[in-house]
Structure 1
Amino acid sequence: MRNISDIIEQHLKAILNASKSGIVEIQRSEIAELFQCVPSQINYVLNTRFTVAKGYYVESKRGGGGYIRIRKLDLHGKHIHQTILDEVGETVTQKQAEDIIGRLYEAGLLSAREATILISIMDRDVLNLQIPFRDELRSRILNAMIVALLRH
């Protein structure tokens, strides 16, 4: 059985996929009411399932008339490589790296074989160093890979 986070994620993705603009605005309280959950559950889903690494950009305005805007990023856009590089930053966890590689694969920028190889390189057992050195090295490798991929 799927949990509530999975159900909310699927609902938001369905709304987003139905949008011709690739952008959707929602009210946190309305979605929480629809799924009979607390608004913080919606925040959790947005913060963990709709990240730049997964191909989404989320912005919100709080207060009366506030909204949450979810935008599906186009990996073929002219500034997306910088957005991804900004997300990577100076350190990156194994999960973040896997999400970014998965998104590049879904966008057709990596083959299944390339994605598998890159994910194996990002593994904590391969980068057998203490944190934060491991996350710094993973970030450098991932940055170099993104620059090389998007240069072609």
Structure 2
Amino acid sequence: MSSISDIIERYLIKIINEAPAGTVQVKRSELADLFQCVPSQINYVISTRFTVEKGYIVESKRGGGGYIRIRKVRISSFKAYYDALLRMIGSQITQAAAEDLIARLREEDLMTDREAKMIRQLISREVLNLPVHLRDPIRARVMRAVVMTLFASKGE
């Protein structure tokens, strides 16, 4: 059985994919009414499931006329996407952010399910059994190598 968070996420992804520009603007309170939940549940779903690592940009305005605008990022070129990914990874990356990035690469068919599973294992806390101040930079180096290899193999 799906959780309310899964249901809200699927709904938002569906309307984003149906939107011609890949952008939707919604009201927190209207979504909360639609799904019969508290507005903080909507905030939770948006803040955890619509991240930059997953390929979304979220803007919000609070107050009476407030809204949440969610946009699926579309990169204009393969090179721009590659550069954006390397910037996103930076010099250190958390396990959660790296896993989101892996999911995005998989969703965009830049890696197979098997590759994604292997890389998730390689960047896990269990494998990188080091203090955080070492683990996140090493994870970033692994993820940068993964991105460079994936893009090099695409020949562009």
Normalization by structure 2: what TM-score? 0.84
Q: What's 1:51 paired with?
A: 51
Note the alpha carbon deviations across 1:55-94, whole angstroms, 9 max, x for none.
2111112234222111112356453334333432332222
**Residue 119 (1) aligns with residue 120 (2):** yes
Q: What's 1:20 paired with?
A: 20
Note the alpha carbon deviations across 1:24-80, whole angstroms, 9 max, x for none.
111111111211222111110001111111121111122342221111123564533
Partner secondary structure for residue 93 of structure 2: coil
For the 8 Å contact 1:52–1:84, the answer to whether it is kept is: no
Unmatched tracts of structure 2, length 5 or more? none
Q: What's 1:135 paired with?
A: 136
Pairwise CA RMSD of aligned residues? Answer: 2.1
Cα distance between partner residues in 1 of 2:65 and 2:123: 42
* Bigger Cα displacement from structure 2, 75-84 vs 64-73: 75-84
* Bigger Cα displacement from structure 2, 11-20 vs 141-150: 141-150
Decide whether aligned partners of structure 1 residues 28 and 81 sit closer, same or farther in structure 2, where only a CA change above 3 A counts.
Answer: farther
Partner secondary structure for residue 53 of structure 2: helix
Cα distance between partner residues in 2 of 1:47 and 1:100: 15
For the 8 Å contact 1:75–1:81, the answer to whether it is kept is: no
Query: How many pairs align?
Result: 152
Cα distance between partner residues in 2 of 1:46 and 1:88: 21
Cα distance between partner residues in 2 of 1:147 and 1:16: 29
Q: How does 1:1-152 map to 2 (within 5 A)?
A: 1-74=1-74, 77=77, 79-150=80-151, 152=156
Cα distance between partner residues in 1 of 2:29 and 2:87: 31
**Partner amino acid, structure 2, of 1:135:** D
Cα distance between partner residues in 1 of 2:40 and 2:22: 24
